[in-house]
Structure 1
Amino acid sequence: MKNFNNKRKPTLDVLMLGTGFDIQGGITSVQKLIIDAHARKQIGFSNGDSRQLRIHHVPTIVRGSAMQNIIVYVKSIQHLCWKILRQEVDIIHIHFAERGSTLRKSILIAIGILFRKSIVLHAHGATYQEFYEKLPKFLQQTIAFLFGHCSKTIVLSHSWRDYYINKLHLNPDRVAVLYNPVSVPPAVPNRSGRDLLKFVFLGRIGKRGGPMDLAKSLISFPKQDKGAFDLIEAFAQLPAADLQRVELILAGNGDLESAHRLIAKLNLTDKVSILEWLDPIQRDELLATADAFILPSYNEGLPMSMLEAMAWGLPTIVTPVGGIPEVVRHNRNGLLVEPGNLPQLIQAMQQLIGDEALRLSLGRSARHSVEHLDIDNYINSLSHLYATVATKTQDLDRPMHSNEIV
């Protein structure tokens, strides 16, 4: 089969496949930051490569009906094949998570392998471990086979790198850690001397999950829980003196009706507010007025909402799951509590309410610890990865696994 990668062009063309920009969530946020940064400036390479980087994004799923998304997905396949046949793509960059995302993207990966294109996978799934373990053996083997033939897999932390290497037997040289990027604001407000504090939660409210209707007899999908209901219950148990000094705002999608019922049941209607999902401008306005960020998740990749809050100089109360412990250090730039441990969550909130010096110190450290993740730095790292993938000679007919001697 002809290798379409041999022709040298003045551009390095990347076709990015992922969620539509109308989808709410972390994958969309990462994609938007990349595309916006790419649009702001002409991106070249620092290693003497004279080519210009061009990134074109194509959605594989959008906010809409099942039928609409079937059409969108088929069109993404057509777009991919058309670009390949016209030799207008050098690298296929595929964002994926667990559940249906992996199943959809597997077909796109297979097409890329068939045409011997360089493929960069970008792993986002917070519950990928549970999802993969529950798959039938033949699906596990198929996914591992496809992933093993890809040029690079981007993961969000070193712990996730270890997982993909050990469980899917990927070659360590083909697994790269890139923490999620964030847009760091040039300045943050002075939060000292405030009488009424504002705690903020950003994310899905309630559990996401359950089996897919068309595959429920075959696959049981894990549920993802960001701990919003735990947070409401813990907030209700704060001592009266602390409750007088703080309000809680939850912003996101999900089971908002049940959350409103729980708030009413716990007599918190004057202390807890729920907002629907915010756009980036509204989110930044909320974070600018907040005093602390809380995300007591049960599972995570590396939450964008946490990184955004840290960039705004907010102390965080989060859980040591996924890549979080590699960014947040207890009592240094945030507070860590175990998932589902309400007493720990209550105690952490009391610490931030009662100790302004701690609150401000953790916030300053939080901002400092994510400054290197600013999108301008990230896009340079990503372009370097693209250049490496595009210029490195690889045998794409046979995967290199971690148990092979290189």
Structure 2
Amino acid sequence: MKDTEQIPLIIMAGPSLSVKGGISSVEKVIINNNNNKINYVFLPTTRDNNKLMKVFDGVKSWFKFSYMSLRKKIDLLHIHFSSRGSTFRKIPLSILAKFRGIPIILHAHGSEFRIFHDEECSKFRKKRVRNFLNRASTLIVLSESWKNYYKTICDLPDEKIILMRNSVDVLNVKVNLEMKDKNEIMMTSNGRIGRRKGSFDLLKSFELLPLELREKSSFIATGDGEIELWNEYVNKYNLSTFAKTSGWLNDEEFIDLRKKCSIFLLPSYDEGLPMALLEAMAYGQVPIVTPVGGIPEVIVNMKNGLLVEPGDIQGLADAMSLLITDHSLRKELSLSARETVLTLDIRKYMDSLMAVYASVLQNHKALR
């Protein structure tokens, strides 16, 4: 977009920036690296609340968007969505935008969207979702595999489904890789604790680690979720001194933890392209992850991380054992992981996003 042109007003709709999770991380990294090229107005559609309050937040966002569209010339609506309620809360926004003649970019994040659409939605709901997707001027997806999937459930032409892998501000991540492993090898996972993330598979795999390796290492999970069930597993496998949970950390505490940790664990059953993974790689953590969603398009086994099939408890234990015992391999994969995310740096991402915005706005102007 040329400097002489008027700065576009774009409404970005999605979970509140205070919500803990991957979508909010994407929203924040975009807004914080805008460099005044876009006049963003953020429209929260949900907060970390119960289901009733999430419905209230969704309805509130519809009225707020209607009011804004009457008061201001909105150039574009950029909607972040995942699945289930996140999708249905955004459908009225897309209808309102279409009615007001405002072009829409949909940004798909949902790791369980395939399950939601294919297995949980009735024919009527599938039609609503298809219509929602078809209202988009552009649909942004996180991986080739997700692009291929969305092509099967909507009528958008191939050129309107754009692959943009998530990004991190790698150059501003300062970490001394030589300072890791000074006292013990620290491992971590970040985000929601639950079955989909493979959290309980981790605990089962920890039990298989030889005692001497557990004495050299430790694990901490940050985030929330099924904490009671987590604690039951910890007690069952006698892991209370090895595996800890911290809840959500503030930014300073989280950065300090990331700098200390050497291994990142995410044995998920479904994913988009996790921000937690990319951020961990930026801090030189070696990922042990599963080849689901967009992960195998970024992680190459034994090149910049280790891949283990979902549910493979012994495979997880073997991967951890390998990294704990082989310092040279751990260092090699750490350097390679950080080099990988340099290709996904936020500056390149923002250039691509600005190009998408410009294309949508130009096409919309030509059709008016």
Taking the aligned partners of 1:175 and 1:253, their CA distance within structure 2 comes to 33
Among 168, 187, 198, which residue is 1:199 paired with? 187
Among 9, 12, 19, which residue is 1:13 paired with? 9
Q: Map Cα deviations across residues 40-76 of structure 1 (whole Å, 9 max, x no partner).
A: x322xxxxxxxxx211101011123445434432321
Distance 1:141 1:192, change over 3 A: closer
Distance 1:112 1:305, change over 3 A: same
Secondary structure at 1:187 match in 2: coil
Equivalent residue, structure 2, for 1:306: 277
- Higher mean alpha-carbon deviation, 249-258 vs 325-334, is at 249-258
Consecutive unaligned residues in structure 2, runs of 5 or more: none
1:318 is the counterpart of 2:289: yes
Q: Structure 2 matches for 1:2-401, cutoff 5 A?
A: 10-38=6-34, 41-43=35-37, 53-134=38-119, 135-184=121-170, 185-189=172-176, 190-191=178-179, 194-207=182-195, 225-393=196-364
Give the partner amino acid of 1:371: L
Alpha-carbon offset, residue 318 of structure 1? 0.2
Distance 1:318 1:65, change over 3 A: closer
Q: Map Cα deviations across residues 223-277 of structure 1 (whole Å, 9 max, x no partner).
A: xx10111101101111122112111111111011221221122111111111102
Distance 1:165 1:29, change over 3 A: same
Taking the aligned partners of 2:175 and 2:83, their CA distance within structure 1 comes to 35
Distance 1:396 1:252, change over 3 A: farther
Give the partner amino acid of 2:6: P
Distance 1:91 1:332, change over 3 A: same
Secondary structure at 2:45 match in 1: strand
- Higher mean alpha-carbon deviation, 190-199 vs 311-320, is at 190-199
Alpha-carbon offset, residue 103 of structure 1? 0.9
- Higher mean alpha-carbon deviation, 256-265 vs 335-344, is at 256-265
Taking the aligned partners of 2:132 and 2:166, their CA distance within structure 1 comes to 24
Alpha-carbon offset, residue 170 of structure 1? 2.5
Taking the aligned partners of 2:255 and 2:220, their CA distance within structure 1 comes to 14
Could you tell me the percent identity over the aligned residues? 36
Taking the aligned partners of 1:148 and 1:318, their CA distance within structure 2 comes to 33
Equivalent residue, structure 2, for 1:211: none
| Bigger helix fraction | 2
Indicate conservation of the 8 Å contact 2:282/2:341, yes or no: yes
Taking the aligned partners of 1:387 and 1:235, their CA distance within structure 2 comes to 49
Indicate conservation of the 8 Å contact 1:113/1:396, yes or no: no
Taking the aligned partners of 1:293 and 1:67, their CA distance within structure 2 comes to 35
Indicate conservation of the 8 Å contact 1:149/1:396, yes or no: no
Distance 1:280 1:158, change over 3 A: farther
Taking the aligned partners of 1:34 and 1:244, their CA distance within structure 2 comes to 41
Taking the aligned partners of 2:364 and 2:239, their CA distance within structure 1 comes to 61
Taking the aligned partners of 1:13 and 1:72, their CA distance within structure 2 comes to 22
Indicate conservation of the 8 Å contact 1:116/1:396, yes or no: no
Q: Map Cα deviations across residues 167-187 of structure 1 (whole Å, 9 max, x no partner).
A: 323211111111111122443
Taking the aligned partners of 2:350 and 2:140, their CA distance within structure 1 comes to 13
Taking the aligned partners of 1:68 and 1:127, their CA distance within structure 2 comes to 22
Give the partner amino acid of 1:325: P
Indicate conservation of the 8 Å contact 2:186/2:260, yes or no: yes
Secondary structure at 1:361 match in 2: helix
